Amino acid sequence: MAADAVAGLANQAIVTDGMRYSLFNLIGQTMRGHRGWPRAWRDPDPKAGYDVVIVGAGGHGLATAYYLAKEHGITNVAVLEKGYLGGGNVGRNTTIVRSNYELPGNEPFYEHSLKLWEGLSQDINYNVMFSQRGVLNLAHSDGQVDAFARRGNGMRLHGADAVLLTREEVRERVPALDLDNARFPVRGGLLQPRAGTARHDAVAWGLARAADSLGVDIIQNCEVTGIARENGRVTGVETTRGHIKAGKVGLAVAGHTTKLAEMAGLRLPVESHLLQAFVTEAIKPMVDQVVTFAAGHFYISQSDHGGLVFGSSLDGYNSYAARGNMPAVEHTIEAAMSLMPSVGRLRLLRHWGGVMDMSMDGSPIISKTPVEGLYLNGGWCYGGFKATPGSGWCFAHTIARDEPHALNAPLSLERFESGHLLDEESTGPFPNTH
């Protein structure tokens, strides 16, 4: 009976009352046994049409809708989601936030995103548990130390923060590291103190609540099956819940971007690949930062719950399976053991795979497309989470003004054709090498 009551409640279109979360409200609700909390967002049926339809209620889609309403006053917006809100890659990542890129086309964008992260909890009145615990990249050779010095200088020239650490300074900060691994000894590191982690689900929920309170309709269980066009212009989308008219359509479906773009007749410089991630059982505080082991793409941090969260390279072949194979698991565990031999005593608690939109140069796309009224946000490779607010902010600008902001102009779809690639790792047009 209780289950029926809950289902009945969910089916009603209960309007949230725009309650701000505060200590005062928390005390008031505590006195009333927590029975008076309103829904965090509505569950509306789709209207016949919207000014803007965003496909994908993940972090980027919800952030886009939020900034469309907040920065551009466009509130007649729907966010369509084929599954449930936050059920894609925003709920399947390792929660790292950083802006330690080198290229002029990337670093200003990621630094803008990091600045938005710094005020996000206050801005959307929802605690996303953004923790600026620092991201430390380890260097294993003198050449790598020099490369990190160059990267750190590049970051600082763009207004980000970066500190080059000696081997002893690394040892003081992360005592659990084996600095004398025979093959990959640690020579030093590059620390970005303002980088860190955030609670990924809270990011999706907080942005959903904030967008909803500004009038955005978030429509779940609504899969887009076609993109309607007339004379080369987008007129709406076909969905499992009927046709929805739209003045503009924005795609934010990283992992499946090419499938959606195909509905509008576009082929993209993107392949879908597989990345696995791991969480151990919870232990007492051991790793205070995010630490990356540059020799193996390996990265590790510790969640507030105590589990070590880590991952490394892609499996390396095209895949939509969202589950991986053993060679990548072995590679990751070997990197973990090389870097921190003590983790060998731990048991794995969870392990999962996600579908990554790997672009041909390893950098994302926030862009207009050759189809008028259709906008593209994708190609996030395995770095989409950190970009969530910046991506939404830039994508909202691109959709509202029909032109990119200076921050995302270099992230255009045309850059592949014009040769203005943003290939941070200089590995060429092979998505599995980025």
Partner 1 sequence: MRIPCPLCGERALEEFTYLGDATVKRPAAEETDPKAWYDFVYLRDNPRGPHRELWHHLHGCRAWLEVERDTLTHEVFDSRLARERGTEAK
Distance of alpha carbon 409 from alpha carbon 401, whole angstroms: 13
Report if residue 429 touches partner 1, rule: CB under 8 A.
yes
Unique residue bearing structure tokens 């009927």: 242
Residue 272 engages partner 1 in binding (rule: CB under 8 A): yes
**What tokens does 254 get?**
């990283």
Shortest approach of partner 1 to residue 266 CB, angstroms? 9
Region 303-322 residues binding partner 1, contact defined as CB under 8 A: 316-321
Question: Nearest approach, Cβ of 126 to partner 1 (angstroms)?
Answer: 34
Residue 129 tokens read as 């548990």
Q: Which of 250, 255, 194 minimizes the C-alpha distance to 227?
A: 250
Give whichever of 125 and 432 is closer to partner 1, judged by the CB atom. 432
Residues 291, 386, 336, CA angle at the centre, nearest 5°?
A: 25
Distance CA 339, CA 186 (A): 9
Minimum gap (Å) between residue 272 Cβ and partner 1? 6
Quote the least distance from Cβ 410 to partner 1, whole Å: 17
CB of 223 to partner 1, least distance (A): 14
Task: Give the residue with the Cβ less far from partner 1, 146 or 414.
Answer: 414
71 neighbors 396 (Cβ within 8 angstroms): yes
Of residues 202 and 270, the one with the C-beta less far from partner 1? 270
Contacts with partner 1 in 379-418 (CB under 8 A)? 416-417
Residue 187's identity, in one-letter code, is R
Number of residues that bind partner 1 (CB under 8 A): 25
- 102: buried, middle or exposed (CB in 10 Å: 19+, 13-18, 0-12)? middle
Nearest to 132 by CA among 164, 170, 99, 176: 99
Distance CA 413, CA 361 (A): 11
Which residues 206-265 are close enough to bind partner 1 by CB under 8 A?
Answer: 256, 258-259
Q: Choose between 259 and 401: whose C-beta lies nearer to partner 1.
A: 259
Residues 7-66 close enough to bind partner 1 by CB under 8 A: none
Bridge partners (DSSP) listed for residue 351: 278
CA–CA dist 349, 429 (Å, integer): 36
Residues in the chain, how many? 434
The single residue among 131, 132, 303, 325 that binds partner 1, judged by CB under 8 A, is 325
Nearer to partner 1 by Cβ, of 181 and 325: the residue is 325
Give me the least distance between CB of 363 and partner 1, in Å please: 13
**Closer residue to partner 1, CB minimum distance, 193 or 316:** 316
Across 66-81, b (16+ Cβ under 10 Å) vs e yields: bbbbbeeebbbbbbbb
Binding mask 328-367 for partner 1 (x = CB under 8 A): --------------------------------x-------
What beta strand segments (E) does 96-253 contain? 96-97, 135-139, 163-166, 188-192, 196-197, 217-219, 224-230, 233-239, 242-251
DSSP for 64-102, written as a single string: HHHHHHHHH----EEEE-SS-TT-SGGGSS--EE-----
Candidate ranges 122-130, 228-236, 269-277, 298-306; the one touching partner 1 (CB under 8 A): 269-277
Pick from 331, 349, 398: nearest CA to 60: 398
Q: What is the DSSP letter of 131?
A: B
Q: Minimal distance in Å, beta carbon 124 to partner 1? A: 34
Instruction: Report the chain's C-alpha Rg in angstroms.
Output: 22
Rank residues 124 and 360 by Cβ distance to partner 1 and give the closer one. 360
Which x/- pattern over 65-104 shows residues binding partner 1 (rule: CB under 8 A)? ----------------------------------------
User: Taking contact as CB under 8 A, which single stretch among the options 1-9, 41-49, 89-97, 425-433 is the one that binds partner 1?
Assistant: 425-433
Q: Does position 327 bind partner 1 by CB under 8 A?
A: yes
Contacts with partner 1 in 110-129 (CB under 8 A)? none
Stretch that binds partner 1, among 66-74, 229-237, 276-284, 423-431 (CB under 8 A): 423-431
Neighbouring C-beta atoms of residue 169, cutoff 10 Å: 15
Which of 86/255 has CB closer to partner 1?
A: 255
Q: Closest distance between partner 1 and the C-beta of residue 320, in Å? A: 5
Contacting residues toward partner 1, per CB under 8 A = 256, 258-259, 267-272, 316-321, 325-327, 360, 416-417, 429-432
